[in-house]
Amino acid sequence: MHDENKKRLPQNIQHLLMEIGERMVLFKLFLLVKDTEWNVYQNLGETGCDLLILNSVTNQKLKIEVKTRQRLYSTSKESQKNIAQFTITENEYNNCDYVICYWLEENVFFVVPKSELSETSSNGKSLFVFRVKRRSGGGFDENSVRFLDRWDTIILGKVI
């Protein structure tokens, strides 16, 4: 099927992909903090982030925004297949500490402090973006590799 003939994914499948990413990250974070004074939760009450890591002793809080992307079914041009763009809104940016980017078909995570996102805009609204580039010979570009599976930055940054 040619890219121009593809339609956008149905809303329920888009939501499923979002849920898969959030659940994967929730479980990874659970493994990271188990047997510590920290706990990880799906955010049900705070604005602008998906997950919370809370310290039961100090009440410290770390806010995580999760973004999932896929290229299995996409209207993107063939020339864009090696790039995944993870974009958050200004509200999400203002209310998170980290963005964890999950590229579904690559099954890889990029743990990005919000300070490392690039600011851009669309239709007059501020947005923040992290771009992952896959090299044609395999692997990822230097900037992407800096954040690839860097769960330890969360540990070093806030948790322990």
Q: Domain count of the chain? A: 1
CATH code of residue 28: 3.40.1350.10
Backbone angles phi, psi at 85, to 5 degrees: -115, 125
List b or e across 132-159, with b for residues whose CB sees 16 or more CB atoms inside 10 angstroms. bebeeeeebeeebeebeebbebbeeebb
**pLDDT of res. 12:** 78
* Encoded tokens for 82: 């090696």
Quick check: 39 pLDDT over 70? yes
The per-residue pLDDT for range 51-96, each reduced to its tens digit, is 999 999 989 999 999 999 876 555 555 556 788 999 999 999 999 9
Q: How confident is the model at residue 10 (pLDDT cuts 50, 70, 90)?
A: confident
pLDDT of residue 81: 76
| Structural domain containing residue 46 | 3-159
Which residue would you say has higher pLDDT here, 7 or 154?
Answer: 154
Residue of 120, 117, 102 whose CA lies nearest to 51: 102
Both tokens of residue 126?
Answer: 């501020």
pLDDT band of 1, cuts 50, 70, 90? very low
State pLDDT tens for residues 109-133.
999 999 999 999 999 999 999 999 9
pLDDT at 138: 83
What pLDDT does 120 receive?
93
Q: Among 11-15, 102-106, 155-159, name the one with the lowest average pLDDT.
A: 155-159
Question: Mean pLDDT in the chain?
Answer: 85
